[in-house]
Amino acid sequence: MTRGRARPGQGGFSLLEVLVAFAVLTITLGVLLNIFSLAIRTTQSVLEQQKAMLLAESKLAELDAGRRLRPGRVQGWFDDHYRWETRVEEFDSRELMDNDTMLMPYRLSVIVGWGRNQQYEITTLRLVRQEAR
């Protein structure tokens, strides 16, 4: 009768080697999952910022295309996720321009917000003829 000796070339892994391999695999997979999770969150944040920028530019173009600019604020929602606010203010240009000019500068601002405290703001100046006010 022969004892249970392994023949040459038929050696296997011990239980300790298998456990160490599983531990290394678990740690590696955990690190990879954290990296992928961070990449997904970063991508989502960038997509939200990009959409807010496009919405703000769209609202500014809509505001600028209007026939008359009137000082004031208007607020609203694009959808359930993005809110907007437009501000039109007369710009104090006494130091920059003489009083005889027929042009009146206005500051146009659009703020698009989302989440709790994230927002994107775009501001520009427009010159408007005084008789067209």
What is the per-residue pLDDT across 87-121, written as a single tens digit (0 to 9) for each?
999 887 666 666 566 777 889 999 999 988 899 99
**pLDDT tens, 18-76?**
999 999 999 999 999 999 999 999 999 999 999 999 999 999 998 888 777 888 999 99
Q: CA–CA distance from 88 to each of 69, 70, 116, 123 (Å)?
A: 7, 7, 25, 10
Q: What pLDDT is stored for residue 3 in this prediction?
A: 57
φ, ψ for residue 73, nearest 5 deg = -125, 145
Name the DSSP class of 86: E
Q: Where are the domains of the chain?
A: 15-132
Relative to beta strand 82-90, strand 118-129 is unpaired
Parallel, antiparallel or unpaired: strands 103-114 and 118-129: antiparallel
CB 97 within 8 A of CB 103: yes
Residue 17 has pLDDT above 50, yes or no: yes
125: number of CA atoms within 13 Å, CB side? 8
Nearest to 101, CA basis, from 119, 128, 72: 128
Buried b (16+ CB within 10 A) or exposed e, 25-51: eeeeeeeeeeeeeeeeeeeeeeebeeb
Question: What's residue 132's pLDDT?
Answer: 47
Which pLDDT value is given to residue 101? 65
